[in-house]
Amino acid sequence: MPADVESSDLRILVTGGAGFIGSALVRHLIGSTECSVLNVDALTYAANLASLTEVENKPRYNFLKADIRDADAMASAFNDFRPDNVVHLAAESHVDRSIDGPAEFLSTNVTGTYVLLEAALAYWADLDGAAKDRFRFLHVSTDEVFGSLGDEGLFSEDTPYRPNSPYAASKAAADHFVRAWGETYGLPVIFSNCSNNYGPFQFPEKLIPLALLNAIHDRPIPIYGKGVNVRDWLYVEDHARALWAILTEARPGENFNVGGNAERRNIDLVNSLCDILDDVRPREGGASHRDLITYVSDRPGHDLRYAIDSTLIRERLSWAPTVGLDEGLRRTVAWYLDNPSWWQPIVKECYAGERLGLGRPSLS
C-alpha cells in the first residue's frame, strides 16, 4: 500500500465473502482495519450470511448478491462501489463435488474469473494516476494446483503446476488467466496459494467439520483409504491476516504461498479431534469417539501429501501463523459445540453428511 494511503481510505471488493475464507477475511477487514468492504456473493450452497452477523450492520460493510459470471453485474459493482482493491475468493471449492460434477467448477472458477478480470480491467483502465497506481487484484488460490508431494519436500512459489482433480485444474486455469491479464494487459495482479484452512464457520462437507458433526451425533466418522494422506493445516483467521498483508504490501506480479507449517495425516488429525471431544464432551457410557472412525473407499485421484514452504511471506511481509494446530483444533471444536444454531440449519436443509466424490461411471 502506498505510504500516503491509510487503510481508512481503502475500498475493497471481496468476491465470495459469504464463504468460509471470504467471511473470515470480511470479519477481519471490518473488525481490524478501517477499510470499507463490498461483499459480492451469489449465495450458492456453501455461502452463509449467518457467518457475517457480527459485521452486517456496520456502516463500512456492504453486500451485493451477484454471480461473478454476470458481466453486467460485475461492471456495475466496480462502477458503483469504486474499489481500490479486489480480493477474489469466489469459487466452487470442494474436490469431491468436482469429481461428481466438474462442469460447475469450470463455469464458476474459470469463466467467472475471466468475467471478473474483464470487469476489473475496464474499471482500472479508466482510473486516474493515483487511484490507478494503488489498485490491486489479489487472486486467492490453493496449493492443490501443484499436485501431490511424496514423503519429503515442500511446495514453493516456483513449483510447477500439476493439478490432479477437476477442482485443482479449474483453480490452476484461473491462476493462469489472472497471470495472463497481468502480463498482457498490465492489470496489477497479485497471487496467493494456501494450504488447507480450518476453523469456525466452515461448511460441513470438509474433513474437520464433517468429522466433528458426525462425532457429536454419534455417527460413523468416514476416513478415506487408510487415512495416511497428509495436509498442512492453516487456521482461517491466520489466513485472513496473511491476505491483508499480501494485499497491502505485495508488489504487482508477486505470488505468496501461505501455510500453517502444521502437517498431519488425516487419521491423526481425526484422532486428535476425537480426543478433544472425549475431554470436553464425553460419550455416554465412556467409549472413545475414536471408536466411531470408519475407513471407506478412497477418493479417486486422492493426492498423497501437500505441504507449503511459506518462507517468502514470513520474510518479506513479516507474517506468521499465530494459532498452532492443536490449539486451533480445540478452538474449532469449542465453536461447533457452542454454535449449533449456525450448523443445524445446514444439516437439516442442505447437507447431512452424505458421501460425495464417488466419481462417475466409466465412459469406456
Active-site residues: which are they? 143-144, 167
Cβ–Cβ < 8 Å for 12, 87: yes
Strand-pair category, 189-194 with 136-142 = parallel
* Residues in contact with 68: Cβ distance below 8 Å, sequence separation at least 6, in sequence order: 15, 40, 42, 74, 90, 108, 112, 113, 115, 116
CA 293 to chain centre: 26
CA proximity to 55, closest of 88, 85, 29, 73: 29
Strand-pair category, 293-296 with 255-258 = unpaired
Concatenate the DSSP letters of all residues of 187-214 into one string. Answer: --EEEEEE-EEESTT--TTSHHHHHHHH
Q: How far is CA 169 from CA 77, 326, 360, in A?
A: 28, 31, 17
Concatenate the DSSP letters of all residues of 5-57 into one string. Answer: --GGG-EEEEETTTSHHHHHHHHHHHHHS--EEEEEE---TT--GGGGTTTTT
